[in-house]
A = this chain, B = another copy of it.
Amino acid sequence: MYTTRRALLQSTAVAVLTVTMNLRALAAQSPTDPLPSWTEGDVKEKLLDFVRRTTADGSGEFVPVSERIAVFDNDGTLWCEQPLYTQAYFVIDRVRGLAAERPEWKEKEPFASLLKGDVKGVAATGEEGIAALMAATHAGISTDEFSKIVTDWIATAKHPQTGRLFTQMVYKPMLELLTHLRANGYKTYIVSGGGIEFMRPWTEQVYGIPPEQVIGSTGGLKFNIRDGAPLLEKLPTLVLNNDKEGKPVGIHRHIGRRPVMSFGNSDGDYEMLRWTTSGTGPRFGLLVHHTDAKREYAYDRGSPIGRLEKALDEAPKHGWHVIDMARDWRQIFDLENPDCAQP
């Protein structure tokens, strides 16, 4: 009797073990891998494990659904930011489009340099020049008018080096991650230095992120009633510069709670990652390191766009994970012919 029971227990244990191992093997090559564009390895495993730990019932690190907030920088984190931010191409196209009505721009900086394609000349006009460009291209019209201008532009505007639509320059691994997080009850937000009104018209379609979950640099607005119809006029003032120390401010103002997960790629995201990962309970910080000159661009220290130095140096100290794009991303862009996306 005793022997029989023991044998039964042993055979049961073997059976359980076999089933478990088979399930593990199945999971590794599972067709339902939520992150197929990510190379198997430490970063992918840490990400999936964090999501499991914070969402599993009875887990010591369980996070209630209402507190599952994940924030993503946009330029360089969700889509390509080289050789210039996409919004810079929008400004260039818009100045060109408006130039006929503004003949004085031919003689007036920074417009003169911009119309000649002289990027260095524009850069030399400094912050004041940038402010003048933003005022000329982003203000003086209603929010509805601006939204339509952006929608029309983004539908056809193409990356200067790949010839692909800018909306095709998004990172496939990050789209998979956004979907996986949402499937696990995380609310996904964009927290970008880019303009909030420039992003909102297309983020829902491209990333599945609705306008109310897009936080960005914000201009002044004025309510008016014109010909009996209410409108919001865009002013040339800056209400929030949502970069660096402005990011935690934007997060708090819009969300009102500290995120659980934070994703960035440059020193502009340093404060956002510090704010996120210094909260109590489980927190996750991650930097996208642009290491792939063949499939995308390789840059970090000293890059005028997306400079990554302080955040990279301090990543180990704060427990932030670092994605090595060349190593950790099996595929970068989601295109019929992926080669076309290579700059």
Q: Which residues of A contact B (CB under 8 A)?
A: 66, 143, 187, 196, 200, 204, 210-212, 214, 218, 221-223, 225, 229-230, 232, 239-240, 245-246, 248-249, 252-257, 271, 274-275, 278
Q: Flag if A230 contacts B66 (CB, 8 Å).
A: no
Residues of B within 8 A of A230 (CB): 248, 271, 274-275, 278
Q: How far is the CB of A292 from chain B (nearest CB, A)?
A: 31
Q: How far is the CB of A182 from chain B (nearest CB, A)?
A: 13
A256 to B35, CA, bound (A): 30
Q: A279: nearest residue on chain B (CB-CB)?
A: B230
Q: Flag if A274 contacts B225 (CB, 8 Å).
A: yes
27 A-B pairs in the complex with CB atoms less than 8 angstroms apart: A66-B204, A143-B252, A187-B212, A210-B256, A211-B255, A211-B256, A212-B254, A214-B256, A221-B249, A221-B252, A221-B253, A222-B249, A223-B245, A223-B246, A223-B248, A223-B271, A223-B275, A225-B274, A230-B248, A230-B274, A230-B278, A232-B248, A232-B275, A239-B239, A239-B240, A239-B253, A254-B254
Which 9 residue pairs spanning A and B have beta carbons closest together? A211-B256, A223-B245, A221-B249, A200-B256, A212-B255, A223-B248, A230-B274, A230-B275, A230-B278
A215 to B239, CA, bound (A): 16
A257 to B196, CA, bound (A): 12
Known: A230-B248, A245-B223, A271-B230. A256 touches B66 (CB 8 A): no
Residues of B within 8 A of A256 (CB): 196, 200, 210-212, 214
Q: A213: nearest residue on chain B (CB-CB)?
A: B212
Q: How far is the CB of A223 from chain B (nearest CB, A)?
A: 4
A246 to B220, CA, bound (A): 11
Q: Flag if A210 contacts B271 (CB, 8 Å).
A: no
Q: A276: nearest residue on chain B (CB-CB)?
A: B230
Extra 4 A-B pairs, beta carbons < 8 Å, given A211-B256, A212-B212, A212-B254: A66-B210, A143-B252, A212-B256, A229-B278
Residues of B within 8 A of A225 (CB): 274
A214 to B256, CA, bound (A): 9
Q: Flag if B255 contacts A232 (CB, 8 Å).
A: no
Q: A223: nearest residue on chain B (CB-CB)?
A: B245
Q: How far is the CB of A261 from chain B (nearest CB, A)?
A: 15
A230 to B229, CA, bound (A): 45
